[in-house]
């Protein structure tokens, strides 16, 4: 549901003082400034803990690289970042640049809370951006025909295999499955149970319906509209349902609840809880950090019959410039330094420090990024995927949050067995149509907005 910012601002400004750690940081505060003679550029990001000094290292390098701007970083908890920004926008006191991985681009663009980069870039910069950026990055950056964000790290997915498990069934790296059907059959052979028939190891269990939509040739966006109930998307939901049913919902749930933390030295790939996993690029650096030398194989997920190869869902970290930014030009100068646009060596270092994928091939071929790939050679599988035409993006537009919530509920109902895959997608499409009509009646979606 969309948020009426002015109403919230009037009804609960006191909430600003109750959100721990979210007090606004005055850009001119001398305790936070190292170059007080420069123009301050306030930058909100969502990293804390061990990642905050690594991420803010690129801020330090930018500030040292020129003498006009000082970027002042502010760490904001991700779960409160959107609300904090909406409150700041209602008062016209936003940061100059904000980084978030929340699915906000359509809603914030339609509400005119963020401004296009098109009006800040020079014509030459825009031509260069459109010419050299990976197509999937352009899709995430562009909304309603305008460049509304830069992508500061993109998540992709591929298959991780434990070769020690594969060896149990006589499979080596030269004989990885070539189809999704072969992958499932192999997973069945790798399942392990105890005497009570409780799962102790899962060969392969597909989860998160939206991640499997691309490999079946499906998508969520068509002609500026969100599409859900399509034959390809249905095949993906049926695939999730069939494999959960094979293991048994209760058995699979009990197994999942018995696992330790999803990150760190007890994460499933390291612990060997799964023999084969469809997972994101961030695991490569995690494995090296917590279990260096662990043998594993990595490859794109094999397509089902009639599906698409080198396919997966993608999700970005956005760098957006608020409409009320006081220093949009300074924000742009730092943003392009941050992602490496026209600064490939710096971009390669920044992406390598965070374990992220580059936005364009020039950055991917920079000496700094090649040094990262030399240290983490498995990561090249994801870099190669960046050129695939079969990468997809989540639902876009002013209702993207609503649709993702509905899809999550649908998948839960399907895996529990309370709805069939066909019923679940029809219901999501119905709810989408009803919610769109309701928001139009309330004037929260205008005639030209894309649902």
- CA distances to 296, 347, 361, 435 from 365, rounded to whole Å, are 25, 11, 6, 46
pTM value is 0.90
> Does residue 299 have a pLDDT over 60?
yes
Dump pLDDT digits (tens) for 407-418: 999 999 999 999
- CA distances to 181, 244, 424 from 252, rounded to whole Å, are 20, 7, 21
Q: Are 193 and 200 in contact (CB under 8 A)?
A: yes
Q: Counting beta carbons within 10 angstroms of the beta carbon of residue 262, is it exposed (0 to 12), middle (13 to 18) or buried (19 or more)?
A: exposed
| Token pair listed for 73 | 């970083």
Q: Are 394 and 400 in contact (CB under 8 A)?
A: yes
Q: What is the rounded CA–CA span in Å between residue 74 and residue 339?
A: 18
Three-class secondary structure of residue 319 per DSSP: strand
Residues 22-36, mean pLDDT to the nearest whole number: 56
Q: What are phi and psi of 217, to 5 degrees?
A: 85, 15
Element containing residue 299 per DSSP (H, E)? strand 297-299
Structural domains in the chain, CATH included, are 5-155+316-388 (3.40.190.10), 157-313 (3.40.190.10)
Q: Torsion-angle region of residue 297: left (phi > 0), alpha (psi -120 to 50) or beta?
A: beta
Task: Select from 371, 379, 347 the least CA-distant residue to 361.
Answer: 347
Q: Considering only the C-alpha atoms of the chain, give the largest distance between any 2 of them, rounded to a whole number of Å.
A: 72
What is the rounded average pLDDT for all residues in the chain? 91
Q: Are 414 and 241 in contact (CB under 8 A)?
A: yes
Residues 73-91, mean pLDDT to the nearest whole number: 92
Residue-level pLDDT at 262:
85
Dump pLDDT digits (tens) for 97-141: 999 999 999 989 999 999 999 999 999 999 999 999 999 999 999
Residues 305-328, mean pLDDT to the nearest whole number: 97
| Token pair listed for 125 | 């910069």
């Amino acid at each position: 549901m969309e948020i009426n910012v002015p109403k919230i601002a009037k009804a609960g400004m006191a909430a600003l003082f109750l959100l721990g750690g979210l007090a606004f940081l005055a850009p001119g505060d001398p305790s936070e400034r190292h170059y007080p003679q420069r123009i301050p550029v306030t930058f909100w990001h969502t990293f804390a803990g061990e990642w905050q000094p690594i991420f803010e290292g690129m801020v330090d390098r930018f500030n040292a690289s020129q003498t006009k701007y000082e970027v002042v970083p502010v760490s904001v908890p991700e779960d409160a970042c959107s609300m904090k920004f909406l409150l700041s926008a209602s008062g016209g006191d936003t940061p100059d640049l904000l980084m978030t991985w929340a699915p906000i681009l359509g809603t914030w663009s339609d509400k005119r809370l963020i401004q296009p980069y098109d009006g800040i870039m020079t014509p030459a910069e825009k031509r260069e951006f459109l010419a050299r950026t990976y197509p999937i990055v352009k899709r995430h950056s562009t909304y309603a025909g305008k460049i509304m964000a830069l992508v500061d790290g993109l998540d992709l997915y591929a298959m991780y295999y434990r070769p020690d498990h594969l060896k149990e069934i006589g499979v080596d790296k030269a004989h990885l499955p070539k189809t999704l059907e072969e992958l499932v059959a192999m997973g069945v052979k790798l399942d392990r149970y105890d005497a009570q028939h409780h799962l102790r190891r899962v060969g392969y269990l597909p989860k998160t319906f939206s991640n499997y939509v691309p490999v079946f040739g499906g998508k969520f966006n068509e002609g500026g509209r969100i599409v859900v109930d399509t034959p390809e998307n249905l095949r993906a939901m049926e695939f999730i349902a069939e494999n959960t049913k094979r293991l048994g919902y209760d058995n699979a749930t009990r197994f999942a609840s018995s696992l330790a933390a999803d990150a760190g030295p007890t994460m499933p790939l390291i612990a060997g809880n799964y023999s084969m996993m469809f997972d994101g690029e961030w695991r490569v650096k995690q494995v090296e950090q917590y279990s260096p030398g662990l043998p594993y194989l990595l490859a794109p997920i094999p397509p089902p019959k009639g599906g698409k190869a080198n396919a997966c869902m993608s999700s970005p970290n956005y760098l957006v410039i608020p409409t009320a930014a006081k220093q949009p030009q300074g924000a742009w100068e730092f943003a392009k330094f941050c992602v490496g646009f026209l600064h490939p060596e710096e971009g390669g270092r920044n992406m390598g420090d965070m374990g992220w994928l580059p936005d364009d091939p020039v950055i991917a071929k920079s000496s700094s990024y090649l040094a990262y790939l030399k240290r983490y050679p498995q990561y090249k599988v994801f870099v190669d995927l960046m050129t695939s035409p079969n990468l997809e993006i989540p639902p876009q537009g002013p209702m993207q949050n609503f649709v993702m919530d509905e899809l999550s509920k649908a998948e839960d109902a399907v895996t529990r067995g309370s709805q069939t895959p066909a019923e679940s997608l029809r219901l999501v499409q119905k709810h989408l149509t009803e919610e769109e009509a309701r928001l139009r009646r309330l004037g929260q979606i205008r005639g030209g907005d894309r649902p």
